[in-house]
Each structure stands twice: as C-alpha cells, then as structure tokens.
Chains A and B, each alone.
Chain A
C-alpha cells in the first residue's frame, strides 16, 4: 500500500538507494584496480614438448631485454626507458612503470637453452622454449 501511494505522488524511495549502491560499487572497483602486480605480467602456454611465455613490455626496445635460461627457469631482465625530460616539465599523470626490472619465471619442465626462440612485437615479448630431447616422454613397447 505504501509503495503504490508513493508511486502516485512520484517519489521513488529506491532511486536514492540505487544511486548510493552505484557509487559504492564504483569506489570498490577502484580499490581492486590498485592491487599490486609483478612486472612484467606474463602468460604461460604449454604445448607438446614446448612452453611459450608472453610478457607485456610496452616501451622497451627489443635489444634492452636480457633473457637467461637455466634448467627450468627463465629470467627476464631489463630497464624501462628513463623519462627524464628537461627540468621544466610538469607531470600531470605518472602511471607507466619505470626503473629496472628482473623477473624469474619457473617453467613446468627443464628446457633446452639451445632451442629458444624469442620474438618481440608491439610491446609484447614471446619466448618459445623446448624440452631437451633426452627429457621427452618415451613410449615403451610391451613385449607380448
């Protein structure tokens, strides 16, 4: 009864509640967005006897990234371009990462350091690593 009465006079008590809910949701969305993350973010892909790693490294020249492989770890090392403009520049936003980085990623198996392919395009690094021949699973014949 109360609701229909209010509806007639054109007041929606839920309107304000919805507005507040929206506002709270927006603020909470901002909170989760500020969670810290390792740099660079990586994705890992597994195929048959090989593993591929992709990493987002925007603004870094391909020759500035150092890749090292050891047993089952891959290390990415490098430095983001320094952004020292002249003294008089004024910053309005400073969101892009800067400084040097080093990150070691553990791979699901040992990889052959001789068989590594790395590509770099549009700020995305792609590294393809292969399992050494000796480590590959072998099918065993059962004698009858």
Chain B
C-alpha cells in the first residue's frame, strides 16, 4: 500500500541577495538533501523544470551559490484552471566548511535533480613559522 506523501511548500525568497532582479519570476529555495560520507559531502538539490544548461554554480571563497533557471512552460491553446505549484527560478546559497577540496567538486544534473559531490580535503597540516633573525 502506497503511503501518502506530504511535502512542505517551497519557500519563496523575498529578497534574493543579488539585489533587484530583471526577470519577473518567483525565486524559490530549492529543497536539498545534504549528507556526508567518509570522503565526500554530497548535495542533492531538487530543481524541477531546470535543464542542465540552466544551472549556474559559483564558488566564491567559502560561499557556494546554486542557481537554476527554469525554461518557460508554454501551453498553446491551454488555459490554467488549477495550480499547486508555479514555475520559477531557484536559488540557494550555502557556506562550505574549510576542509573541502575546491578543485575536486563534481556536479551532475539528472531528472531535475542537481547532484554535487564535494570531496573532503586531507586535514591541513599545521605549519610552524620560523622567525627570521634580524
């Protein structure tokens, strides 16, 4: 027997951090799963309606920004009579911890889900700084 599944409504960002937007579409915070294995931190982000070329991931210092731009849904000769979700863009900003190997981050998109694998870096060795004799 299939159990009934409930999901929480998507949150709408009232003020995306990029200031005023030029596209008049709602911006959602995409639902995400984040889990940590021994070697990686894996992020799964639900972005239905976003093709792989509509995904924009930027990493600046420790801030990882994920943006998804959904393609417009056009229905010729159709009018909408009932709506439970609305199409829009997605935006979520996460702060990474220091011990992520930034060059080894892998991203893939399948069936509207973005998968990011962030490899953990080897523990940074403490460096002793020698004082130069004047």
The chain A residues found within 8 Å of chain B, CB to CB, are 29-30, 32-39, 41-48, 52, 54, 56-62, 77, 80, 83, 85-86, 88-97, 99-102, 108, 121-124
- Binary contact readout B84-112 vs A (1 if CB under 8 angstroms, 0 otherwise): 11000000000000000000000000111
Contact at A56–B85, with CB atoms within 8 Å? yes
Please, how many angstroms separate the alpha-carbon atoms of A57 and B83 in the complex? 15
Chain A residues in 8 Å Cβ range of B2: 77, 100-102
The chain B residues found within 8 Å of chain A, CB to CB, are 2-12, 14, 31-38, 41-42, 44, 46-51, 71, 73, 75, 77-85, 110-113
Contact at A35–B9, with CB atoms within 8 Å? yes
A-B residue pairs in contact (CB < 8 Å), sample of 26: A33-B11, A33-B12, A35-B9, A36-B8, A43-B83, A43-B85, A54-B73, A56-B112, A57-B48, A61-B111, A62-B111, A77-B2, A83-B33, A83-B44, A85-B35, A88-B37, A88-B38, A89-B37, A90-B35, A92-B36, A95-B32, A121-B51, A122-B49, A123-B49, A123-B50, A124-B49
- Classify the secondary structure of A's interface with B: mixed
Contact at A91–B35, with CB atoms within 8 Å? yes
Please, how many angstroms separate the alpha-carbon atoms of A118 and B85 in the complex? 19
List the B residue with the shortest CB-CB distance to A64. B111
Please, how many angstroms separate the alpha-carbon atoms of A104 and B19 in the complex? 41
Q: Shortest distance in angstroms between B81's beta carbon and chain A's nearest beta carbon?
A: 5
* Count of chain A to chain B residue pairs whose CB atoms are closer than 8 Å in the complex: 155
List the B residue with the shortest CB-CB distance to A77. B2
Please, how many angstroms separate the alpha-carbon atoms of A62 and B85 in the complex? 20
Q: Shortest distance in angstroms between B2's beta carbon and chain A's nearest beta carbon?
A: 4
Chain B residues in 8 Å Cβ range of A92: 34-36, 41
Please, how many angstroms separate the alpha-carbon atoms of A41 and B118 in the complex? 31
Please, how many angstroms separate the alpha-carbon atoms of A55 and B47 in the complex? 13
Chain B residues in 8 Å Cβ range of A80: 5
Contact at B48–A96, with CB atoms within 8 Å? no
Q: Shortest distance in angstroms between B40's beta carbon and chain A's nearest beta carbon?
A: 9
Please, how many angstroms separate the alpha-carbon atoms of A96 and B80 in the complex? 27
Q: Shortest distance in angstroms between A116's beta carbon and chain B's nearest beta carbon?
A: 16
Contact at B82–A43, with CB atoms within 8 Å? yes
Please, how many angstroms separate the alpha-carbon atoms of A57 and B48 in the complex? 7
Chain B residues in 8 Å Cβ range of A102: 2, 4
